[in-house]
Structure 1
Amino acid sequence: MFGRARAHREFREAQRAGHALLHTMQSHPGFQPPAPPADQAPDPAAEAVVPDFLPPDLRVPSRQDVEGLMMRWQQPLVIDGEVRSCPECGAYRDWIIFSMCDDTIHLRCRAGHTTPEPRLDPVWFNRNSGPVDHFHPTLDEGLRHLGH
């Protein structure tokens, strides 16, 4: 146990000495970083600009490119201690919750009635939704994917 502590202490001291030497060398006014050997020719492939972004077919739309996000909420939706029900048909479970780009939240019941929910916000939606797993070109395709 004591030998290991001494080895760690010696390693830390050597590290500190190396850092101090490096700092002293770099702060010297005449310091020049070492040049690559002259006998090595530069590699043209290394100098080629490599794009740092995915190709277009692998990119996903950004938040600004979609009209909103949706998730399924099967259990009763409780907001401020009350169970939220559809004002038209009275349904209180199996919602599709939409988070729109204008920061509003809308609820859609199984019967297709859509109503805004001002007591919820995108922060609540992000906290309760999972990661985005599909992008759909139309609302109908998204609803079909979620089983509505």
Structure 2
Amino acid sequence: MFKRKRDNREWRETQRAAQEMMQWADRQPDPTSTPQQDPDPTAVDDFLPPDLLSASQGELAGMMMPWRGQLIVDGEVRTCPQCGADRDWMILSTRGLILLRCHAGHETPEPALDTVWFNRNSGPMEHRHTTLEDGLKYFGH
């Protein structure tokens, strides 16, 4: 008796899953109606929708965010080459470059990071600052 109920329940769940899959397939566009273009393999999805991205680069000199813990890039902990600091970074994004600034004020370019990484990790911009020093003071750096 219990086996029959379990079999009926499994059959209903399978039918429900198949029905949901068919409804999903019905909502998809017909691939034969419009020609599909292959996406550019060099293009990188910026992850954030346009309304969450900051203003255009023409309006901003750059953006910054604090990174209080250790910064691990490609499996390695980044350290400041001048003073050896390994945490409490200020990450600056300007003109397509990412710069790491330690608490002592040493700036180091980080070629392994890019603006897409910055946008994914920074979150929405909360404040605008007229100078780099104002921004650093705001973040207590």
For 2:99, give the aligned amino acid: H
RMSD: 1.3
**Which of the pair has more CA radius of gyration?**
1
* Residue ranges of structure 2 left out of the alignment (5+ in a row): 1-53
* TM-score, length-scaled by structure 2: 0.60
Q: Which amino acid aligns with 1:107?
A: L
- The secondary structure found in structure 2 opposite 1:128 is helix
Match of 1:11 in 2: none
> Residue 71 of structure 1: CA displacement?
0.2
Identity of aligned residues (%): 58
Long gaps (5+) in structure 1: 1-59
Q: Residue 79 of structure 1: which of 69, 73, 77 is its match?
A: 73
Stretches (4+) displaced over 6 A: none
Residue 90 of structure 1 pairs with residue 84 of structure 2: yes
- Letter in structure 2 aligned against 1:96: M
d(CA) in 1 for partners of 2:102 and 2:131?
18
| 1:115 maps to 2:108 | yes
**Judging changes above 3 Å, is the alpha-carbon distance between structure 1 residues 88 and 65 closer, same or farther for their aligned structure 2 residues?**
same
Q: Distance in 1 between matches of 2:113 and 2:78?
A: 11
Matched with 1:140 is: 133
The amino acid of 2:81's aligned partner reads P
Q: CA deviation at 1:61?
A: 5.5
Secondary structure in 1 matching 2:119: helix
What residue in structure 2 maps to residue 66 of structure 1? 60
1:9-20 to 2 correspondences below 5 Å: none
